[in-house]
Structure 1
């Protein structure tokens, strides 16, 4: 009897490499949120200290994006530029406003609706209703009122971070990125690509199935630790190359960075006070005997390290220690020095 077999027997294309473009986008994203600075506190402080008032304002604009700038990676699927930062930024700069907002809203709103929203407030409210949990109404309205300005600030901060601090850091991190590539390549060919990605990421293999092209990209700056960019037939998998290291080495890096944060007697005293009581800048200034601006700087560093939190009561910002985080740090110090391993 006749037999018909259907199916694509061609093996998927698999490429493993690191990408300067993706590293820059992830670095900008890291700078938008102090909680992401923990393992790169010193670098983040250095870069932020170099930014002008206008550049800091541009960075602040990125903070209001639904994913804090990770949206720029949507352009990777469109222009496939992963190696030339200059070409990637130029592509964003030359893209039209509708396309920019389409990617900014993570392709969740039709381009036709976006075009209408530039001139019609009712359309904006419809969009707001759909994404109200990720973008505040006043921010969305401001974005639609000033599309050229918003895109201009995006281009400005990408160029600025690239020119101020990123290039040197990228060169220093190349060894780790190369180690990440080698780590992945050690798995390739031993199992299916879905199983390889399951082993590397800890995510179920079903979310990696069915693509014709796989691009596996280790990153040093990526935060969160895993980003999946995909179309119908292509998957870009960005993962934290630090996951490839020995657990003890990773713990050492984390502790080393945190100890640098509290390697200052004023910060240690602030932290001690905030473990026991909530307080605010002026009160801490009076207790410790340093200026209020200096206290504010120390509080920001401690917040970026995840050791201090804040809450606003009426018009005053109160600060308090994250005791669980601090206890975990102390436990990890004990674990590092006294573990039997």
Structure 2
């Protein structure tokens, strides 16, 4: 049996804040710029011109030796909660111990014990199970080089981020987005939900949690496009969401798609749709085609009709059924967009 209760006293208030963050926008914009540099060659080229030789060299190393997105920087918002000052945020990152730095650098995906072992002996990496950070020999070699030269890597990394944050392109782009961010804040604040429910609504999922959050930060990002991300520990829950992303409760949408797909989760119903896609037919003819009773066919047709895949019309005293192709195509499109909205 599982047991969970709210152990807070009445004096323990939950802190809920909605705000636009310079640091979040800096991370989102930098990541989107580097991830899509081919599509944004003007901005990317402008950024390269503003970087000094060392930073440009480190950026070249980053691009050629890794496929990591700068969005992993969001992981540092918990140990370095400076949302409105990029320099303070980066300065705090630079003060973290090597194990803490790598723990958050790798998105908390590696146990701290393993990280300490790797710092002490990078050669151990070759005996560890593959991860997304080192799934090829080339990536393993890159990680080993980073571990062997961790102080230099950290200094070069922070210097690059600081140079990027001070570039004119970043400052110009950030200056353009405050109004859109505030509109998004007003929209989210108008939703009448408890903070946990609101966080789940924005993320479109139910959280598995082991403790109650004491602090919620809801942060819109102009440059985070249609994305959403949650960064959390036992006390703090940070929700970052794109201002252009429509607030959709994915749980509700997935339930709607479930109804549609359940209607298709039977071989006889699929055969019925195949038959009806060619000609209108009546129940007895379908039963004869499938070799099942008319009562069973009626049950299948009713489910397909409720889900919208079949249309019914009466000619004289006989009911004819036909395939609703428009609905079927729309359902498949919705499924594809739900699973992968980038397509």
Into which bin does the TM-score normalised by the smaller protein fall? 0.5 to 0.7
Change (3 A) 1:224 1:57: farther
Instruction: Give the match's secondary structure for 1:221.
Output: helix
Aligned counterpart for 1:174 among listed residues 178, 198, 216:
178
Alignment gaps of 5+ in structure 2: 248-343
Corresponding residue for residue 218 of structure 2 = 216
Structure 1, 21-30 or 44-53: larger mean CA deviation: 44-53
Q: 1:61·1:153 contact (CA, 8 Å) conserved in 2?
A: no
Larger radius of gyration: 2
Distance 1:176 1:60, change over 3 A: farther
1:76-225 → structure 2 map (5 Å cutoff)? 76-127=77-128, 129-131=130-132, 132-133=134-135, 136-164=139-167, 165-187=169-191, 190-201=192-203, 203-206=204-207, 210-222=212-224, 225=227
CA pair 233-220 structure 1, distance change in 2 beyond 3 A: same
Alpha-carbon distance between aligned partners in 1 of 2:105 and 2:119, rounded to the nearest angstrom: 14
Cα distance change, pair 8–224 in 1 and its aligned pair in 2 (3 A): same
Correspondence 1:257-276 to 2 at 5 A = none
Unpaired segments ≥5 residues, structure 1: 246-341
Query: Residues 50 and 138 (structure 1 numbering): CA distance in 2 closer, same or farther, change over 3 Å?
Result: same
Q: Which moved more, 1:5-14 or 1:108-117?
A: 5-14
As a proportion of its length, which structure holds more helix? 1
Give, in angstroms, the shift of residue 89 of structure 1: 1.1
User: CA distance change for structure 1 residues 109 and 6 in 2, over 3 Å: closer, same or farther?
Assistant: closer
CA distance in structure 2 between the partners assigned to 1:128 and 1:120 by the alignment: 16
Give 1:151 deviation, angstroms.
0.9
Q: Which has the higher contact order (CA 8 A, sep 6+)?
A: 1
Q: Structure 2 vs 1, CA of residues 122 and 239 (structure 1 numbering), >3 Å: closer, same or farther?
A: same
Alpha-carbon distance in 2 for matches of 1:219, 1:42: 22
Q: CA deviation at 1:237?
A: 0.6
Partner-residue secondary structure (3-state), 1:106: coil
* 1:232-260 CA distance string (max 9 Å, x none): 12110111112259xxxxxxxxxxxxxxx
CA distance in 1, matches of 2:194, 2:119: 46
Return the TM-score normalized by structure 2: 0.60
Q: Give 1:133 deviation, angstroms.
A: 3.6
Q: What number of residue pairs does the alignment pair up? A: 236
Instruction: Check conservation: 2:226, 2:243, Cα contact below 8 A.
Output: no
SS in 1 for 2:217: strand
CA-atom RMSD in angstroms: 3.1
* Residues 275-298 of structure 1: per-residue CA shift (max 9 Å, x gap): xxxxxxxxxxxxxxxxxxxxxxxx
Asked if the contact 2:224–2:241 (Cα under 8 Å) also holds between the matched residues in 1, the reply is: yes
Residue number in structure 2 paired with 1:226: 228
